A and B are shown apart, each in its own frame.
Chain A
Amino acid sequence: MNQTAGGAPDRAILARANRAAGDLARFSGRAFRAMEIDTRFLGMIAALLIIWIGFDLLSGGRFLTARNLWNLSVQSASVAILATGMVLVIVTRNIDLSVGSLHGFLAMVMGVVQARYLPEILGFGHPAIWFVTLMAGVLLGAVVGGLQGFLIAYLSIPAFIVTLGGLLVWRGAAWWVTSGQTVSPLDSRFILMGGGPRGAIGDVATWVLAALACLALLLLQAAARRRKRRFGFPTRPVWAEALMAALGCGAVLGAAAVANAYYWPAGTVRQWAAANDVIIPAGGLQISHGIAVPVLIALAAGVVMTFVARRTRFGRYVYAIGGNPEAAELAGVNTRWVTMKIFMIMGVLCALAGAVASARLQSATNSQGTLDELLTIAAAVIGGTSLAGGAGTIAGAMLGALLMQSLSSGMILLGLDAPLQNVVVGLVLVAAVWLDTLYKRRAG
């Protein structure tokens, strides 16, 4: 529209730039297709990087520090754990509004179990307390989730209603556990699940774990390639395989390096040195945090849930039900039982999230997890889970949780007011879903 005298050469340059951009897009499109990477997932990673770099520039380099990224990972853990299950719920065209309340309730129950009952039975500070507590929470979570799932699947009450009821019921129940009193302190081993200097695995274990993860990635990739060969299916070009392996391992090793670059605070080091009769050298002692335990729990949940979603019959049924519930039923899938199991899994994940969140705060309060159901749903949806059902990935949802936590943390770092933070997160959610509909319309 810009009709200036120099229009013609401008247009030529523009046309050339356009062509170049087109070529680049076509080339990268081909490259991504060759690697069989979901372009949507790449888009999310790009968005995350833009947010990170943006906040880093705005905050004068305070965002992309090992310390901030480490904290970000810990703060994202509990919603990320919940989001792995919410994907399956939403894929089957259901919703779970009760996860925030349920995780608060389970945290309260676990708090009372570890702080009041188990010390009496097992003895104070018994090393099994954390585990028995966690198992009790997981079991109760499965029962409560199963109950909600039963009402939804077998009595055909809409999930929205059942879990809206659950939101109120479990929040009230969380109060009843102690008549509103906060439970504190928690078991000394249990709180390791929340992170902190002690709740991280240190540099050696982090490198070992990262190396094992890289090895696993390579082995999985090789196994997939071998299977394809065996059945005579086309395989990716070798350069694509190599590039994918390099990217995957690079991401893993990079994350490990960041976690190891965050050192214990001097005070913690002094305490630790005093307790262990270590003499701190003149230059100070640098002890790496390494990956935090809650992050490991979230990653484990992500790996297990991805495996369940992609490699098991149950997972196949979840997606088929989301695509066409009637077809799944006619194919002989026991759709009710599958639905009930999804809500049981969601209950178990609520217990894990409740443990992680209360361990991080080193206390259980009856308001814990308030509004987490909305953050979880938003994480899943930002991560590409379709509310119409049938589509969504666990990894995307976890990335969505990280993205939302990045926004919150970044805005806190910039000193934005809390109400404004909510406004921004809300707008981002709506914008993300809008972009996704545009993308889907173009992708067909």
Chain B
Amino acid sequence: MNAHVEDRTPLVEMEEISISFGGVHAVERASVNLYPGEVVALLGHNGAGKSTLIKILSGAYRRDSGVIRIRGEEARIENPRDAKSYGIETIYQTLALADNVDAAANLYLGRELLTRWRTLDDAAMEARAREVMGRLNPRFQRFKDPVKTLSGGQRQSVAIARAILFNARILIMDEPTAALGPQETAQVGELIQHLKSEGVGVFLISHDIHDVFHLADRVTVMKNGQVVGTGRVEDLTKDEVLGMIILGKCPPGATPGPGAA
């Protein structure tokens, strides 16, 4: 299933990406890539640098060095607006919601629908919000309330809805199901399958190794800011992946990175 995929130009290539905060090398010479219709899982302990790496792709941080290519062409991603212009949408681990405004305002934040008088078209935004949220979380009805009054799962649904609202070509999901119940988690799984079938590339960060083996095509494991290795899910066992995460040992089924022990 992946053989034909790899013949094509990668959707995303991140090469030798480094960034440090003060003296801390949060990410060091990390390389990952992503093909259309592919799900790549990023794994690693807390503090391994997963969120930092994807925040460089989403424009939240500026890298110190390294190259990002989108569809084979070098991309200038200096801020979140740049990333969005490449079709990159992100569900942040912290959700990044403006707590004091409602779901629709969050969904359209930065890209509001306007009436022909160039004023906010709140009714149209709410209607679209109801449509998208209805697919993710059919019981959700609290469209008038500020999102700070919503439950953790509902807030996560809002963050997910925002990422899929604008036809992302590249979707970054940083622990998207952390606050969801089993039913909503399953729905996110279906959503990912659906996006794959439409050729969307997905970076998925998750702690649930079962989920990862179920949804991902490839896994990239990070440790201490470096990539331990990358491999296809069918070439790896769960124990081997755990070994990569915990010991930084790259098994024969995976391609080692600079962080391999």
Residues of A participating in the B interface, judged by any CB pair closer than 8 Å = 227-228, 230-231, 233, 310-313, 315-317, 319-324, 326-334, 390-391, 444
Q: Does A320 contact B123, Cβ atoms closer than 8 Å?
A: no
Give the shortest distance, in Å, between A260 (CB) and chain B (any CB).
Answer: 34
**In the complex, B247 has a CB within 8 A of chain A:** no
Query: How distant is the Cα of A70 from the Cα of B96 in the complex, in angstroms?
Result: 48
Of the candidate stretches B5-13, B19-27, B99-107, B227-235, the one touching chain A is: B99-107
Give the shortest distance, in Å, between B112 (CB) and chain A (any CB).
Answer: 5
Q: Does A319 contact B100, Cβ atoms closer than 8 Å?
A: yes
**In the complex, B183 has a CB within 8 A of chain A:** no
CB-based nearest A residue for B118: A312
Q: Does B98 contact A231, Cβ atoms closer than 8 Å?
A: no
Give the shortest distance, in Å, between B237 (CB) and chain A (any CB).
Answer: 37
Q: A231-B123, A330-B58, A332-B84 are in contact. Are A316 and B112 (CB under 8 A)?
A: yes
Chain B 84-95: CB-based contact to A (< 8 A → 1; otherwise 0): 100000101011
CB-based nearest A residue for B119: A311
Of the A-B pairs whose beta carbons lie under 8 Å apart in the complex, a sample of 20, sorted by A's number, is A231-B123, A233-B126, A311-B120, A316-B101, A316-B120, A320-B98, A323-B99, A323-B101, A324-B96, A326-B96, A327-B96, A327-B97, A327-B109, A328-B109, A328-B110, A329-B60, A329-B80, A330-B80, A332-B80, A332-B81
CB-based nearest B residue for A320: B98
Q: Which B108-150 residues sit within 8 Å CB-CB of chain A?
A: 109-112, 114, 118-120, 123-124, 126-127, 146, 148-149
Chain B residues lying within 8 Å of A329, measured Cβ to Cβ, are: 60, 80
Q: A311-B120, A313-B114, A313-B120 are in contact. Are A323 and B98 (CB under 8 A)?
A: yes
How many interface contacts (CB-CB < 8 Å) are there between A and B?
84
Query: How distant is the Cα of A319 from the Cα of B96 in the complex, in angstroms?
Result: 14
Further contacts, 11 of them, CB under 8 A, given A330-B58, A390-B98: A231-B127, A316-B109, A320-B100, A321-B98, A323-B146, A324-B97, A327-B97, A330-B96, A331-B109, A332-B84, A332-B110
Query: How distant is the Cα of A333 from the Cα of B111 in the complex, in angstroms?
Result: 9
- B111 touches which one: A228, A328, A332 (CB < 8 A)? A332
Q: Does B124 contact A231, Cβ atoms closer than 8 Å?
A: yes
Chain A residues lying within 8 Å of B114, measured Cβ to Cβ, are: 313
Give the shortest distance, in Å, between B150 (CB) and chain A (any CB).
Answer: 12
Chain B 212-240: CB-based contact to A (< 8 A → 1; otherwise 0): 00000000000000000000000000000
Give the shortest distance, in Å, between B60 (CB) and chain A (any CB).
Answer: 6
CB-based nearest B residue for A327: B96
Max chain B C-beta neighbours (<10 A), residue from A316, A323, A331, A391: A331
Q: Does B126 contact A331, Cβ atoms closer than 8 Å?
A: no
Chain A residues lying within 8 Å of B98, measured Cβ to Cβ, are: 319-321, 323-324, 327-328, 331, 390
Chain A residues lying within 8 Å of B84, measured Cβ to Cβ, are: 332
Q: A331-B96, A332-B81, A390-B100 are in contact. Are A228 and B120 (CB under 8 A)?
A: no
CB-based nearest B residue for A444: B149
Query: How distant is the Cα of A328 from the Cα of B112 in the complex, in angstroms?
Result: 13
Query: How distant is the Cα of A329 from the Cα of B61 in the complex, in angstroms?
Result: 11
Query: How distant is the Cα of A328 from the Cα of B108 in the complex, in angstroms?
Result: 11
Max chain A C-beta neighbours (<10 A), residue from B90, B96, B112: B96
CB-based nearest A residue for B127: A231
Q: Does B80 contact A320, Cβ atoms closer than 8 Å?
A: no
Chain A residues lying within 8 Å of B94, measured Cβ to Cβ, are: 326
Query: How distant is the Cα of A333 from the Cα of B100 in the complex, in angstroms?
Result: 16
Q: Does A320 contact B96, Cβ atoms closer than 8 Å?
A: no
Give the shortest distance, in Å, between A316 (CB) and chain B (any CB).
Answer: 6
Q: Does A320 contact B101, Cβ atoms closer than 8 Å?
A: yes
Max chain A C-beta neighbours (<10 A), residue from B58, B100, B120: B100
Q: Does A330 contact B60, Cβ atoms closer than 8 Å?
A: yes
CB-based nearest B residue for A330: B96
CB-based nearest A residue for B107: A331
Q: Does A312 contact B99, Cβ atoms closer than 8 Å?
A: no
Query: How distant is the Cα of A311 from the Cα of B99 in the complex, in angstroms?
Result: 19
CB-based nearest B residue for A226: B123
Max chain B C-beta neighbours (<10 A), residue from A319, A326, A330: A330
CB-based nearest B residue for A313: B112
Max chain B C-beta neighbours (<10 A), residue from A320, A324, A326, A333: A324
Max chain B C-beta neighbours (<10 A), residue from A228, A334, A390: A390
- A333 touches which one: B58, B60, B109, B127 (CB < 8 A)? B109
CB-based nearest B residue for A228: B123
Query: How distant is the Cα of A312 from the Cα of B96 in the complex, in angstroms?
Result: 22
CB-based nearest B residue for A391: B100
Chain B residues lying within 8 Å of A227, measured Cβ to Cβ, are: 123
Chain A residues lying within 8 Å of B118, measured Cβ to Cβ, are: 312
Query: How distant is the Cα of A316 from the Cα of B99 in the complex, in angstroms?
Result: 13
Give the shortest distance, in Å, between A276 (CB) and chain B (any CB).
Answer: 44
Give the shortest distance, in Å, between B92 (CB) and chain A (any CB).
Answer: 7
Query: How distant is the Cα of A323 from the Cα of B95 in the complex, in angstroms?
Result: 13
Give the shortest distance, in Å, between B167 (CB) and chain A (any CB).
Answer: 15
In order of increasing CB-CB distance, the 5 nearest A-B pairs are A323-B100, A332-B110, A323-B98, A390-B100, A320-B98
CB-based nearest B residue for A229: B123
Q: Does B100 contact A330, Cβ atoms closer than 8 Å?
A: no
Q: Does B109 contact A390, Cβ atoms closer than 8 Å?
A: no
Give the shortest distance, in Å, between A145 (CB) and chain B (any CB).
Answer: 24
Query: How distant is the Cα of A247 from the Cα of B119 in the complex, in angstroms?
Result: 27
CB-based nearest A residue for B149: A444
Query: How distant is the Cα of A227 from the Cα of B112 in the complex, in angstroms?
Result: 17
- A322 touches which one: B81, B100, B127 (CB < 8 A)? B100
